């Protein structure tokens, strides 16, 4: 174990060179082998599958309520057999509300808490109230391309691409929305609206970070250019943006290559972590499924930050445990769907599930959520996107429990170096 770890650490530099070579289109065979070895390990503390719920329609995102007692799941309603290519059905998406029982399992409270949405995806919980939005308000990414009409035809009118952040409370009451589509402040700043508004997170001051994967803009006539990256929306700009007025403190855009998807702020170091999903759509990603860590200074200077891991396939969901252990969901369809684990400062290992082991039965694991703010074991809710699935209503969300020693297993692993 000791030798393996040192070997892994010595290859940190190899990952950097691999990514640099990939960016030039020149990955070597030796680099590929090194990367495969690096990610061959498993996290020493397996997770237990508590429940597999089979009652969703392409579930993409999950989030726990502020008190940890409820889970909201976004059903993105991908078109399946209705359309030729990947696309969300306009207005067919919805949010489900579930309750967390004492044993960690979930029970459905309201399958269609909010209906009529296009492409509801990632969510986050506002930690600091504004005048308009109480703490605990849930913000949802919705309205993204690529989407199709109810006949499965790709929508060409760019005016119908109404990407936005939708704010609602635990009862499902919509409290407001922030337009990120055509004609919005975001387009004014960037020259292109947010095309695929994918996931969001908040820092402890209530600043909002949201990704644009910038996929799907070419379905429109004329097409949107699409600029992939991370937006930071200052806390004090949320109300103004929801009121449709220009905020004093404007959102800041940082370009990130490889189609950024998951985003979350680490409870350990306060940095903003963003992963990349480009390979899912067959697009070029210099990190080949990587994770960038951005400091607030990086964002203020529009710098992409540090690439801390790569060559992981196509990453979707990203979240942290209480101690800052990072989880990422690998969603590319031609390699196994799985959850990877990055202990602080280390490269990714695979989360072992019981039952199932490393070859888990996850079908397109997407924007997962960790319950880290409540009593009892840390729970992970894993929505499974089931892209291009033909049977709506029976797609899966998997609930797993992390053992009590999950976070400390990282420290034990590091201690073995000494």
Write out the residues near Ca ion by the rule CB under 5 A. Answer: 57-58, 78, 80, 198-199, 261, 316, 367, 389, 391-392, 394-395
C-beta of 195: minimal distance to Ca ion in Å?
14
Among 171, 168, 142, which residue's Cα sits nearest to residue 74? Answer: 142
The DSSP call for residue 384 is: B
CB of 134 to Ca ion, least distance (A): 26
Name which of 80 and 286 has its Cβ closer to Ca ion: 80
Looking at the Cβ atoms of 15 and 199, the one nearer to Ca ion is 199
Shortest spacing between CB 141 and Ca ion, in angstroms? 8
Bridge pairing between strands 123-125 and 138-142: antiparallel
CA distances from 8 to 12, 306, 314, 348, 417 (A): 7, 19, 22, 10, 11
Alpha carbon distance 268, 288 (integer Å) = 26
User: In degrees, to the nearest 5, what angle opens at C-alpha 415 toward C-alphas 410 and 418?
Assistant: 155
Cβ proximity to Ca ion, 92 vs 241, nearer residue: 92
With contact defined as beta carbons under 8 Å apart, do 176 and 133 qualify? yes
User: Which of 370, 338, 398, 297 shows the shortest CA–CA distance to 39?
Assistant: 338
Pick from 97, 90, 223, 94: nearest CA to 163: 90
* Nearest CB to Ca ion, comparing residues 95 and 199: 199
Smallest gap from Cβ 77 to Ca ion, in A, equals: 5
Nearest to 52 by CA among 416, 408, 397, 400: 397
Name the residue among 343, 297, 348 with its Cα closest to residue 320: 343
Between 80 and 217, CB nearer to Ca ion: 80
Please identify, using beta-carbon distances, which residue of 78 and 212 lies nearer to Ca ion.
Answer: 78
CB closer to Ca ion, 200 vs 409: 200
Beta carbons within 10 angstroms of residue 51's beta carbon: 18
Q: Kindly tell me the sign of the dihedral angle through the C-alpha atoms of 74, 92, 117, 217.
A: positive
Q: How far is the CB of 129 from Ca ion (least distance, A)?
A: 26
* Shortest Å, Cβ 262 to Ca ion: 6
Q: At what angle do helices 29-38 and 12-23 cross, to 10 degrees?
A: 130
Instruction: Map tokens 């009892």 to a residue.
Output: 376
Instruction: Report the helix count and the strand count for the chain, using DSSP H and E.
Output: 7, 27
Shortest CB 83 distance to Ca ion, Å: 10
Q: Which is nearer to Ca ion, 58 or 184 (CB)?
A: 58
Q: Tell how far CA 49 is from the center of its chain.
A: 21
Taking the C-alpha atoms of residue 239 and residue 143, their distance in angstroms, rounded to an integer, is: 20
The least CB distance from residue 107 to Ca ion, in Å, is: 21
Give the nearer residue to Ca ion in terms of CB position, either 185 or 369.
Answer: 369
Residues ≥6 apart with Cβ < 8 Å to 370? 64, 319, 320, 321, 327, 378, 379, 380, 402
Nearest position to Ca ion, beta carbon: 391
| Closer residue to Ca ion in complex, CB, 15/89 | 89
**Whether the Cβ atoms of residue 66 and residue 135 lie closer than 8 Å to each other:** yes
Element (H, E) at 165: strand 164-168
CB of 263 to Ca ion, least distance (A): 9
Q: How far is the CB of 317 from Ca ion (least distance, A)?
A: 6
């Amino acid at each position: 174990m000791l030798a393996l770890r040192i070997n892994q650490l010595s290859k940190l530099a190899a990952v950097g060179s691999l990514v640099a070579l990939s960016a030039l289109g020149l990955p070597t065979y030796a680099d590929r082998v090194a990367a495969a070895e690096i990610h061959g390990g498993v996290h020493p503390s397996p997770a237990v599958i508590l429940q597999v719920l089979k009652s969703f329609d392409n579930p993409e995102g999950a989030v726990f309520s502020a008190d940890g007692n409820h889970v909201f799941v976004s059903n993105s309603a991908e078109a399946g057999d209705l359309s030729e290519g990947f696309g969300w059905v306009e207005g067919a998406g919805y949010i489900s509300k579930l309750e967390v029982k004492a044993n960690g399992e979930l029970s459905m409270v309201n399958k269609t808490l909010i209906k009529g949405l296009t492409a509801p995806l990632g969510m986050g919980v506002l930690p600091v109230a504004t005048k308009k939005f109480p703490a605990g308000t849930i913000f949802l990414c919705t309205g993204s391309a690529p989407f199709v009409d109810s006949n499965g035809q790709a929508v060409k009118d760019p005016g119908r691409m109404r990407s936005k952040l939708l704010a609602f409370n635990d009862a499902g009451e919509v409290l407001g929305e922030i337009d990120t589509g055509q004609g919005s402040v975001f387009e004014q700043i960037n020259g292109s609206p947010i095309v695929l508004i994918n996931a969001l997170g908040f820092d402890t001051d209530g600043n909002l970070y949201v990704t644009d994967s910038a996929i799907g803009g070419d379905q429109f006539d004329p097409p949107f250019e699409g600029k992939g990256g991370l937006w930071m929306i200052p806390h004090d700009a949320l109300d103004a943006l929801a009121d449709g007025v220009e905020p004093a403190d404007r959102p800041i855009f940082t370009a990130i290559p490889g189609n950024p998807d998951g985003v979350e702020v680490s409870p350990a170091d306060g940095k903003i972590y963003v992963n990349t999903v480009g390979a899912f759509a067959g697009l070029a990603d210099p990190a080949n499924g990587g994770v960038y860590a951005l400091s607030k200074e990086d964002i203020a200077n529009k710098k992409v930050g540090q690439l801390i891991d790569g060559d992981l396939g196509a990453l979707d969901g990203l979240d942290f445990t209480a101690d800052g252990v990072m989880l990422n969901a690998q969603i590319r369809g031609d390699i196994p769907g799985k959850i990877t684990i990055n202990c602080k400062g280390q490269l990714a290992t695979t989360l072992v599930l019981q039952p199932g082991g490393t070859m888990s039965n996850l079908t397109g694991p997407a924007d997962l959520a960790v319950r880290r703010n409540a009593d009892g074991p840390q729970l992970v809710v894993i929505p499974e996107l089931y892209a291009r699935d033909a049977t709506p209503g029976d797609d899966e969300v998997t609930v797993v429990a992390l053992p009590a020693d999950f976070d400390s297993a990282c420290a034990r692993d590091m201690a073995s170096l000494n």
